[in-house]
Structure 1
Amino acid sequence: MPVVDRTEFRPALDLPPSARQNRFTVLLRLLLLIPQLIVLWLLSIVAFVVTVIGWFGALFTGRLPRFAAEWLSGFLAYDTRVYASMLLMVDRYPPFRFAAPEHPVRIEVHPGEPLNRLAVFFRLLLVIPAAVVQGLLQAGWWSLSVIHWLVVLVMGRMPQALFEATAAVLRYRVRFQAYLMMLTSSYPKDVFGDPPNAEPQRSATRPLVLTGAAKALLVIYLVLGVASWAAGSASDEWHSEDDNPGDVVTTLAPLRVGP
Structure 2
Amino acid sequence: MVDQVRSPLSDVVLRREVLLLLGVSLGQSALYSIVSFVGKLTAPAPLSTQTTTLNPSQAPGRPWLDLSYQLLGVLFNVVPALLAIHLLRRDHADVPSSLGLDRRRPAFDLLTGVGITAAIGIPGIGLYVLAKELGINTAVAAANLPDIWWAVPVLILAAIGNAVIEEVVVVGYLLTRLGDLRWGRWPAIVASALLRGSYHLYQGVGGFVGNIVMGLAFGWFFTRTRRLWPLIVAHTLLDVIAYLGYTYLADKVGFLK
**What's the TM-score once normalised by structure 1's chain length?**
0.29
Pick 1 or 2: higher relative contact order, CA cutoff 8 A, min separation 6: 2
Q: Which protein is bigger by CA-based radius of gyration?
A: 1
**What's the TM-score once normalised by structure 2's chain length?**
0.29
Structure with the higher helix share, 1 or 2: 2
